[in-house]
Structure 1
């Protein structure tokens, strides 16, 4: 069986055609609009980067970030930037060579300060912002006293609505034997929950909520702790502990 000789330079011409056609395909913008109906897209060792079309600012990046891990391998991370180039959100470990390798998620302001982050070393809760606590008087004889049978506001707080629910902790006690009273919480004039009944000789704690409160986001919430006498002499001693916004 004889072999037909190939024309000189045929393979070179085939390679040139393939190279030209692939180049045309890449330049044609074939993937300007694409979707994956099934399966997915996997990058192994690469990165995904989105740049602003006008000024070329990198606004989104997923892939290797600095610094490298102690074994020399690349650290995977995520960086989201504002259009001015400042980092808005990132996921990485800034010092993986010290202690345990624990990445944290941080939200930064335009000056680079961390506004919010999780406490990655403990694995529990948040690191920033710091959440304040409030002191309250622990002796019921130091609490304000309501002697009226009409609802009387003893404590008031105001603030923007940040979460859909509210939780309020209070205490109450009657200072005269045999007397009874009530404590309640109003939010913008509406009871947060059923009033709590007070009695003499015992300090009762009342947890109002968490319960949904009306109003738009950032609308002002006016919170009142009220008390009244129901029967007997003397008055109702009222203490407050905490006011918290809660998630739905």
Structure 2
């Protein structure tokens, strides 16, 4: 007699088995997979395919609890969420955004949360920040501004918004009569930047900087001036700024 555990199953067993397999296939096809998943140290490799994120989803790269890169629906400063990309600074570096892309507007941010570089979306072309100055100056020293004052008086002045921490200024200077001497200095909101330069009866060039700008708020307008004074003689002490710019530390 054949033992019971070795007997072939009846026909109904095969039917039940097929029905059960069909049910499992339908469940797998209709099921939502990878609702939550973790990929270990081996990583995830996609060859020749794409990763699609739908329905207001986002891709977030983290280091511990800190978000480093956020792509997709990203929280915006006004409390809303918009499609975009943000790269964040580390927590020990302020934790604020370092680079962002919202509604086609690309921007780079400093540690204080200020935009230091961005595209100009209003016009549709070029950059919004930084502003790049182009300096022109006269070559005829007899036409340069000057003074005969024995105390410092402004002969050139301008204004610049604070966007970078240092300033460079090139000044050409001379007196217009032999035996006349003088001095000049660079001023910013009442503070002298760099050393005092000597002026004589010869056309010379003095470079100031790069010198640190006085401490202040980002974006504030700074008043700059070149001040001159006569120290001897009867002629005029003259000066002309031929180049200037702000720059990084």
The alignment's TM-score, normalised by the length of structure 2, stands at: 0.61
The yes-or-no answer on 1:114 pairing with 2:125 is yes
Task: Tell me the distance in 1 between the aligned counterparts of 2:32 and 2:17.
Answer: 23
- Structure 2 distance, partners of 1:130, 1:217, is 14
User: Counterparts of 2:54 and 2:101 in 1: how far apart (Å)?
Assistant: 10
Look up the SS of the partner of 2:20 in the other structure.
helix
Match of 1:237 in 2: 238
Aligned runs of 1:1-248 on 2, under 5 Å? 7-8=14-15, 10=17, 13-14=20-21, 16-17=23-24, 20=27, 26=33, 29-31=35-37, 43=46, 44-47=48-51, 49=53, 52=56, 59-60=83-84, 80-82=101-103, 87-89=104-106, 107-109=119-121, 111=122, 113-116=124-127, 131=132, 133-200=134-201, 202-213=202-213, 214-248=215-249
| Alignment CA distance shift 1:197-1:11 (3 Å) | farther
Structure 1 residue 45: Cα displacement: 4.2
Deviation, structure 1 residue 205 = 1.0
Q: Closer, same or farther in 2 for the Cα pair 1:88/1:153, shift >3 Å?
A: same
- Scaled by the length of structure 1, what TM-score is found? 0.61
Whole-angstrom distance in 2 between the partners of 1:181 and 1:243: 22
Question: What number of residue pairs does the alignment pair up?
Answer: 193
CA spacing shift, 1:142–1:21, aligned 2, 3 Å: same
Distance 1:52-1:153 versus aligned 2 partners, 3 A rule: farther
Shift of 1:198: 1.4
Question: Stretches of 4+ moved more than 6 A in 1?
Answer: 2-6
Structure 2, unaligned runs of 5 or more: 1-5, 58-72, 74-80, 86-99, 108-117
Unaligned runs of 5+ in 1: 62-78, 91-105, 118-127
Q: Distance in 1 between matches of 2:242 and 2:55?
A: 50
Match of 1:96?
A: none
How far off its partner does 1:113 sit? 0.4
Secondary structure, aligned partner of 2:33: helix
Deviation at 1:22, TM superposition (A): 8.4
- Greater C-alpha Rg: 2
Output the aligned Cα RMSD. Answer: 3.9
Quote the Cα distance in structure 2 between the aligned partners of 1:199 and 1:3: 119
